[in-house]
Every structure is written in C-alpha cells, then in structure tokens.
Structure 1
C-alpha cells in the first residue's frame, strides 16, 4: 500500500518521476495520505488540471504531479539538466500551481525534485543561446512565477535534497516553508559568474534580513542545509533522503487546518514577505542585463555555450 509522499520519497532516493495529466482516480479519497494503492504519476483527485503537465503520460515531462486527498506533490523532473529552470519548466510550474490554487479540494502543495538534487537554478546552457535582452525577459518571467507563490492561497512547501543552487536556492526560499536535508548544498554562484541574482532577493531578505541576505548573495562559499537552518533561511531540517517525507508530514498538518483561515493568514502576511519584491526584481533584473555585458559574465556565458555545442556534436 502506498501514497504520493511515500512513493515520492522513494523516488527522491534514486528513481525518476513521471509527468502526467492529473485526473480523478476511481478510489480517490479526501483523507490526506490515505493508505491505498497508487500508481506513480497518477493524480488521485476530483479534478483535472487545465493544463496537461505531459500528454499521454510521457516519462520525459519536465514536471510531475501526484495527489492524495488535499495535498499535491509536484516534482521538478529534468534530472539530466540537474532540474534547471528552463523556460518550459517555469511555464509548467506556474500554470500548475495556479490550477491547484484554483481547486477548492487542494489545501497544500509540496515542491520536490527528481534526483540528483532540488534545482541548479536557471538553465545556463539555454541562456547562453539567448541575447542579453532575451535573457532579461526570461529571468523576469521566472521571477514573476516565483513571486506568485506568495500570492497563492495554499501553502507551498519546498523539500530540498542534494542541492539548491542559484535560482534553485531562491525558488526554495520563495516558498512558504522550506524543509532541507541537513547535508544539502546551498549556494548562490551568480556573483562569481559575473552578475547579480536577477530575482528572488526580497523573500530571502524577509527570512534573514538584508545584511545576511547580502552575504548569501555574494556567495563566497557554499553552505549546507544545516548552515541555512542556523541562519534562519530555512524552516526545518531532515536527515538525508528524508526531506520529502518530513515536508509531507507538515503538509498533512497544514491540510487539516481550516483552509480559509490558512489562506487569509498567508495573504495577510504577504506584504511583509514580498511587498516590494516586484520593485526589487525589476531593479535586479535590469542590473543583471547590465552585468551580463561585463568581461567576467561574457566569459561565463561563453563557457556554457561551448559546453552546449560540444554536447550536441
């Protein structure tokens, strides 16, 4: 007998998730994490997403969705690209979270990822093939998608294993609750590459304050999940391989609370977490575009472009 979080925890320790079209299972129940048979990739719920995460149950979808009762488990599924945020993945994630928030039967979403880790940030190989103006637009769209998490009524819990790098770091800290494996590698390498993080700094500031956020954004050294927990940047620690299970336990508790009051509480505090995020993101995205013209940034982008070309040959 199994459930999405138990199966998702198994997948996070070595198996690859599958993207699916979410639809009602015949034996769906409203009880979170009920002990019942579940096929991985199946969304046992009482609705269909307005957007197919992947048509025809393709195993190569960039995002997977699983449901049990009032909790949805989403998984970034680009393991070969270290779950980097491609344009397609950002679009799918944004549309899926919106669809889940619009459904009255969904009370909590958990965001995890297929191995080897949570997310390596923006897809730099994709960026290397863009003009600077195209890169700026791409990062602006990604920032908008992450900011929107704080405007949803449902809580979104990030479950981080392996690593959370660059945009993956800021995607995780942009969620309402962050659970991390204590040995997960966290790092913002953007400054080393030659540019400012183009979005997501406001929620990091809300978590740790501007001085610590600045030190983290400089990214002079990688940190562990335990380091981030001690700084207050994440909310809970788990043993390696147990972040998703712990996130699901928290999700079950939040799903048992009155949903209207949960949503009202989240929205009442939204201004404190992302009140000026759009203004800051506009500024840092513009700075990112300017920074990308520097010698260091151009060298970084050239390196990624060469790697991409070599892999295609």
Structure 2
C-alpha cells in the first residue's frame, strides 16, 4: 500500500496492480492497520482511499479464495466485512477515489466510505449474482446510499454502469474527469479537514447508526446465503476455474 500525507489528508493507495488491487487477506489487514494509524495520528484530519492504476479495485481475490473451502471463504469475507464496516466508526471522513473500475467487493468497499468521487468513465459493477451468488457483505452500506429498490437492481448486476450513472443513482457523490479523480478527492478531503474536527467527528458519530444500521447481522445473513449459493451449479461452474473446495 502506498501512503502519502498531503496537507492534513492521508492518502492510502491500494497497490496490487498485478492483481488489479484485488482484496487479498494481506491487503485488507494492511488497510485496517493504516486506517487505525490515520485515525490515531493528530496530523491527519481526513483520509482518501484510492487504487494504483489500472483501477480502484477488482473485488475479492478469487485466485486466493480458490484455495479455500466454502466455510473458510465465508470466514474471509466476514473479516473483510468487519474492516469495511469499521470505516463508518472512524472519527475522520474517508473519501473513496474511483478510477478505472470498482467491481464486486471493490464497489462495496468504495460505498462503505463516507464520500465517493468517481471518474465519469469509471466502470461500476456487481457481478456476483450473474456468477451465481449473492454479494456476501456490505449491502447495508449500499442500501444506505441508494435505498433498497435501487440496491437490489444494482446487486442483480445485469450490466455495468459508468460514473455518470453511479452519480445519478447516488452510488457516487462527486464526479471528475478521468485522470483527475485523486486531485478532486484530495481537494474535497482538504476542505473537510479545515472544518472543526470535533464537529466533523460528531456528525459521523450521529449518522453512523443510520448508515451502518444492523450491518453486522446483515453481513452474517448475506454470507450465510452466499454459502448456500456457492453450492449451486452456476456458482460451481465459476468456482471450478479457481479450484474451490466444497
């Protein structure tokens, strides 16, 4: 992970370009560690989360998960869910900067942040249902942003959307031209960093129950359904490519 401090803002960059910044266990552990460090660092007032080119994040690392049983896969996804849910509990605003694409778990990680800046041509997609299973975590964060009906539409994932449509639906809060997303996100973070920190933290604390309402229980329920879905013929055809053990 790349880390840079810019005028009261800490930028964390997912840096696994060879795997399209897929969310491996090691990367999620590092992300949690760096979020905690930023939270406890008095010089940091806001956080920007972005991805090294070519994209923000391709979602879960299926190559890594392919060596796990379904039960162990679910344990991994629940741990990823816990780390993503933790963003809402930080006192400092976290802004996702999405260039290229945000797929699957990358999509959900982005919407788990407090604000989202998307490139107009970014590709947003939840491919899990077309693959044969329910996304196993983070759906409460999506529902908080777009409502249950639109969240269901996006989860069905029949086709990707671009940044403009993501902004229209409420998935993204701000748009930027391709190549300028990080700068837009950092400028936004710096504006928030200039606000009284106690009041910013109070706003996060007040709204957290509305955004993360029942999130842990819903993540466990989604993961239970995901485990059942993984036994279907459609899912098994996908998982066969990655040697998932039943």
- For normalisation by structure 1, the TM-score amounts to 0.77
Deviations 1:4-31 (Å, cap 9, x if unpaired)? xxxxxxxxxxxxxxxxxxxxxxxxxxxx
Equivalent residues in 2 for 1:197-216 (5 A)?
197-216=135-154
| Maintained 8 Å contact 2:7/2:190 | no
Alignment of 1:69-218 (within 5 A): 69-218=7-156
Residue 10 of structure 2 aligns to a residue in which SS? strand
Measured after TM superposition, the shift of residue 156 of structure 1 is: 0.3
Distance in 2 between residues matched to 1:160 and 1:69, nearest whole Å: 21
1:300 aligned to 231, 238, 241, which one? Answer: 238
Which structure features the higher share of helix residues? 2
Larger radius of gyration: 1
Shift in Å, 1:69: 3.8
Distance in 2 (alpha carbons) for counterparts of 1:293 and 1:154: 40
Q: Which residue pairs with 1:243 in the alignment?
A: 181
> RMSD value over aligned CA atoms?
1.0
Residues 1:283 and 2:229 are matched in the alignment: no
Shift of 1:102: 1.4
Name 1:227's counterpart in structure 2: 165
Higher relative contact order (CA 8 A, sep 6+): 2
| Structure 1 residue 197 displacement after superposition | 0.4
Structure 1 segments, 4+ long, off by >6 Å, are none
Deviation at 1:303, TM superposition (A): 1.5
Return the alpha-carbon distance in structure 1 between the equivalents of residues 96 and 38 of structure 2.
16
Shift of residue 70 of structure 1?
Answer: 1.6
1:17-32 alignment, distance < 5 Å:
none
Q: Distance in 2 between matches of 1:75 and 1:255?
A: 19
- Structure 1 CA distance for aligned equivalents of residues 225 and 136 of structure 2: 7
Q: What is aligned with 1:67?
A: 5
Unaligned runs of 5+ in 2: none
* CA distance in structure 2 between the partners assigned to 1:241 and 1:200 by the alignment: 28
